[in-house]
Each structure stands twice: as structure tokens, then as C-alpha cells.
Amino acid sequence: MTDPDLTFDLLGTDTAHCDGRVFRSRRAPICEAARALIREGFDGHMTVRVMRDGAPVFRADHMLGEWAATGCTEGDTQVRLTTWTARPDFQSEAAE
């Protein structure tokens, strides 16, 4: 596996750390973080590796843009991926 451009470190089911930032979401911290980073100007073609407890969560890395276009529900033992649809009242829950 080649080194990714970005790494998301998951903590529990509602927090992702990436690039010195902390992102919280009740349902999908990876996806929320990806959307926030793209809004800040990060390239959607950057590769992302998702880690939990020091180990990769997925067999392959994915592009930041793919995560931004995805919705997911994360549990302690599994992740269910879906297609994300923006709501008119959508606001990121990024924490500084």
C-alpha cells in the first residue's frame, strides 16, 4: 500500500481526526470531514486512508471526493456506506 495524502483517525463512532483538525458527527465523521476539507479547498483527488486503533479500516484507500459524496453509518464493528444527499439546512459539525 502506498502512503495516502491524508489519514483519518477514527475515535469511537462519532469523531475523526485529520490534518490537525477534529471532526464530529453523529452518523458519519469521515464523510463530514471530507466535505469540510473540500469546502476549505482541499483537492477531491487526494487519497485518504481511514484508521482505527492504528490499523486500516478498509482494504483500499479512497479519494477525498468519494468520501464527500458518501454517507455512512458507523458502528463498533461495521460501516454501512450510502449515497449522500445534501439537505437544505446542512451544516458541517467540524470542531476546531
31-77 tens-digit pLDDT: 889 999 999 999 999 999 999 999 998 889 999 999 998 876 656 66
| Domains in the chain, number | 1
Q: Is residue 28 part of a domain?
A: yes
Q: Is residue 77 part of a domain?
A: yes
Q: Is residue 92 part of a domain?
A: no
| The pLDDT value given to residue 64 | 94
CB 39 within 8 A of CB 33: no
Does the pLDDT at position 79 exceed 60? yes
Q: Is residue 14 part of a domain?
A: yes
Average pLDDT, the chain: 81
Please give the residue range of the domain that contains residue 38: 6-85
Q: Is residue 19 part of a domain?
A: yes
Distance CA 52, CA 35 (A): 20
Q: Is residue 96 part of a domain?
A: no
- Residue 66: name the closest of 87, 38, 24, 86 by CA: 38
| The pLDDT value given to residue 14 | 87
